[in-house]
Amino acid sequence: MTGGSELAVRVSDVTSVAQDIKRFRLEPVAGPLPTFSAGSHIVVSMFASDRRIRNPYSLMGVGGASAYEISVLRTANSRGGSIFMHEHVTKGTELIISQPVNLFPINHTGRKHILIAGGIGITPFITMAHQLKALDQPFQLHYAARSQERSAYAQQLKDLYGDRVFLYRDNEGHSIPLEALLKNQPLGTHLYVCGPEGMINGVLKTGLAAGWPKESLHAERFLAPPSGKPFTVRLVRSGLTVRVDEHQSILEAVEAVGVNAPYLCRGGACGQCETAVVACDGQIVHNDNYLDPDVQKSGAAIMICVSRLNGSELALNL
């Protein structure tokens, strides 16, 4: 299964919602957009001068509405996707997006839901909070950001959900009282965390230490494909050889020569792009959250959306 049929959208509004964060409203070029469930993301394709960049973004707003909304944080050391969105995408720009995919769904058997957001990680929770309120499910939203200027949507969420929303600002010395929070929840509570990698790991570790079953702890961690040194990939089935540049993922390099590799999340989480390694003359740098550590260690497979080679040539079963 590949990334799914694509949809053409036109940007109908760009709003600055916080320091370095812009919200983009995407309207369909033809026909209505598919309904989506809380926690879903889309993959946005951007056509930069030299390449096509694909980044996943969580859908905000409410499923069934006439347009999609995403929010993008400008990150200086990224591979260019967020900078492209901030500098080149304006009202009227046409973009290609994937169908919505949900890798961060609400567990509907939960009796209570704790949502923990760090910075731009707030985006999936905007729809989740809406859905939980509509379902009359108890929830709390704990939202930490570096400063008030960077706390996108904080006031809006406070207005909508009142004392169910807890705000924390690093520069004012606030932090989420994780241990106390996780120690005192009723059975049947589910926790969802989205934010920087370090925060996610800290929350999951604290939860497990407090005796939470791992089935009740959910994380959305899209990794931006990290950059590294260039290398060559030999595609055994297609008979092609491609160069992977510093700021390119293997998946992007492969797509650029017209090979259709399967993918869904492009963030090392879903498992769709798992590819068998045929030969390798260096060290594979596994950046994904999907493969078992044993498999990573063996070097038998690689998630080509985020992982790389520290070496000169990698041969793949593609």
Partner 1 sequence: MKAIAFRTDKFRDDFSFANSEYGIRRFPFPFHEDKYMYTVNIEPHTAGPVGSVFEFEIDVDEHYVAEMRDRALVLNEDPLRCQALPHMMMAQWDLVELLMTNMAKDYPDQFSLTKNGAQWRWINRPLEIDQTFIFGDPATLPYPPMEYITRQSQGDFCLIDQRDGNLWMDAGMVTTQADWSLDFDIGMNFMEWHGPVPIAHESGVFDRALKFLLNLQVGRPVRRLNWTMTINPRLDTSPENYHKWGIDRSTVNPGNVGEKVHLRVELQGLWRLPRSNAILFTIRCYLLRLDEMITVPKWARRLHRVLKTLPPELVDYKGLSRYRDTTIEWLSKFDDGAPTSAGIGPD
- Which residues lie near partner 1 (CB under 8 A)? 1, 4-5, 34-37, 39-40, 63-64, 99-102, 105-109, 135, 215, 264, 270-272
Q: Which is nearer to partner 1, 168 or 192 (CB)?
A: 192
Q: Give the shortest CB-121-to-partner 1 separation in angstroms.
A: 20
Ramachandran angles phi, psi of 208, nearest 5°: -65, -40
- Beta-carbon neighbour count of residue 168 at 10 Å? 18
CA–CA separation, 210 vs 187, rounded Å?
A: 12
Indicate the residue among 172 and 292 with the shorter CB distance to partner 1. Answer: 292
DSSP-derived secondary structure letter, 313:
E
Q: What is the helix (H) or strand (E) element at residue 244, kind and residue range? A: strand 240-244
CB closer to partner 1 out of 135 and 279: 135
Name the nearest CA neighbour of 79 among 103, 60, 56, 102.
56
CB 100 to partner 1: min, Å: 6
Q: Taking the complex as a whole, how short is the minimal distance between the CB of residue 259 and partner 1, in angstroms? A: 20
Question: In the bound complex, what is the minimum distance in angstroms from residue 108's beta carbon to partner 1?
Answer: 4
User: Closest separation between CB of residue 104 and partner 1, Å?
Assistant: 10
Give the three-state DSSP class for 174.
Answer: coil
Between 127 and 185, name the residue whose CB sits nearer to partner 1: 127
Closest distance of CB 215 from partner 1, Å: 5
Best CA proximity match to 99, nearest among 65, 136, 68:
68
* CB of 101 or CB of 301, closer to partner 1: 101
Whole-angstrom distance, CA of residue 71 vs CA of residue 269: 20
The residue (of 172 and 294) whose beta carbon lies closer to partner 1 is 294
What string of DSSP letters covers 133-161? HHTT--EEEEEEESSGGG-TTHHHHHHHH
Tokens matching residue 111: 């009796």
